[in-house]
Amino acid sequence: MRIELDATAVDTAFDAITKDYQKQAALPGFRPGKAPRDMVAKKYEAEIKDEAKRKLIGDAYRNAIAEKKISVVGYPDIEEIQFGRGQVMQFAATVETAPEFELPEYKGLPAHIESKAVTDADVTRALDLLRGQQAKFDTVARPLANGDVAVVNYSGTCEGKAITELAPTAKGLTEQKNFWIETTDSEFIPGFAAQIIGAQAGDKRTVNVDFPADFVTRELQGKKGVYEVELVEVKEKALPPLDEEFAKKYGAESLEKLTVGVRTDLENELKHSKTKAIRNQIVTALMGKLNFDLPETAVANETRNVVYDLVRQNTQRGVARELIETQKDEIYTAAAANAKERVKLAFIVGKIATAEKIEVSQEEAVRLAQQLAMMYQMPFDQFLKDLQKRNGVNELYEQVQHEKVMELLEKNAVLTETPAK
């Protein structure tokens, strides 16, 4: 897009900016704001020229896209052709435009949910989990049984080699001393705990495992491992009684109020789960109705945002930077695919918001920023600075807009409900 301004407009901008500088300039021998115009123009020549260029190009660009009614994505690539005092200004702006498409019918989209409710058994299980957090573990002189905790020393190999030779960052999977394994817990390595049931303190066993195909350590996925295990101690798990004293440890006035609070939490979680399921189906149905080309710049920017979020989330979860670095190719590939879906959905949501005249206020954006800062456990000011560094302030408005549109789609969805399996 080629844009041109006549010399008069250029000179007018120079004169206005020079006048502003003259009002503020403090030159030797003159009171502030009283220096001669020619002296101010000479001293601040470079600054005045840069500011005039920025203002003229910015204003001319915005006027041009408004006049041509172009919906632009991202920032323009400006190529200066001619600019100077007393000259016609000419420049070229290369822009990416938003895709053009017709919205399909977005109200009345189908969604299916299972009819579920929080039961007394669900509440009991949740209370037992809370009891587990307050459990005591007493060393006992008997064979290891289901429900106990085994304290073990182990060293592992895979394909006849130390595991760190295949997976350098998996030091914890290669060797550990005094490692606690709950026999009812399969989060360590599936099948490991079952093979030491019946052992007593001091016993040694060889444990053979199959690393799952989706195992967290990529280099071990689908492979077999062999562990030499020594049982150091057997610890019996003792849960505290479910009484008034237990309730007070969780800030509840009574066991009855703790139980009510747990049920409320479970009901909120179930409601959130249903909402998520409905919205996922709505999005899938909506995305399937449309196919259009996506601006490369928008996809690239969103890919960077997704990578940033993935790395931050993994770091907060305690994943070692070395492990993140070894998986950077997989992270980028996953982020790129995710970014395309997010960009496509963002254009659809934006068009629905326009059609429904859905707007976002500054107060709503600030409220979301405060919530996100609390979630990431960051000071609010620091969160905003980080957001501004990566030009992410608009994301706040987009997220609020997205939520409002999803509420609209969910409200107008056609739901079918079946009994829970």
Report DSSP letters for 379-417, one per residue: -HHHHHHHHHHTT-HHHHHHHHHHHHHHHHHHHT-EEEE
Per-residue pLDDT tens digits of the chain, which is 421 residues long: 899 999 999 999 999 999 988 888 878 878 777 888 888 888 889 999 999 988 898 889 888 888 888 888 777 888 877 888 899 999 998 888 889 899 999 999 999 999 999 999 999 999 999 999 999 999 999 999 998 999 999 999 999 999 999 988 788 899 999 999 999 766 689 999 999 999 999 999 999 999 999 898 889 999 999 999 999 999 999 999 999 999 999 999 999 999 999 999 999 999 999 999 999 999 999 999 999 998 888 888 888 888 888 787 777 777 667 767 777 788 888 888 888 998 999 999 999 999 999 999 999 999 999 999 998 888 998 888 888 776 678 889 989 999 999 999 999 999 999 987 7
**What domains are defined for the chain?**
2-97 (3.30.70.1050), 136-238 (3.10.50.40), 248-419 (1.10.3120)
Nearest Cα neighbor of 228 from 208, 255, 212 is: 208
Compute CA distances 211 → 173, 220, 221, whole Å: 11, 6, 6
How far is residue 168's CA from residue 154's CA, in Å, rounded to a whole number? Answer: 17
Cβ burial 316-330 (10 Å sphere, 16+ → b, else e): eeeeeeebeeebeee
Compute CA distances 369 → 41, 133, 291, 317, 394, whole Å: 43, 32, 32, 22, 11
How far is residue 131's CA from residue 137's CA, in Å, rounded to a whole number? Answer: 13
How far is residue 264's CA from residue 118's CA, in Å, rounded to a whole number? Answer: 9
Nearest Cα neighbor of 346 from 420, 412, 397, 276 is: 397
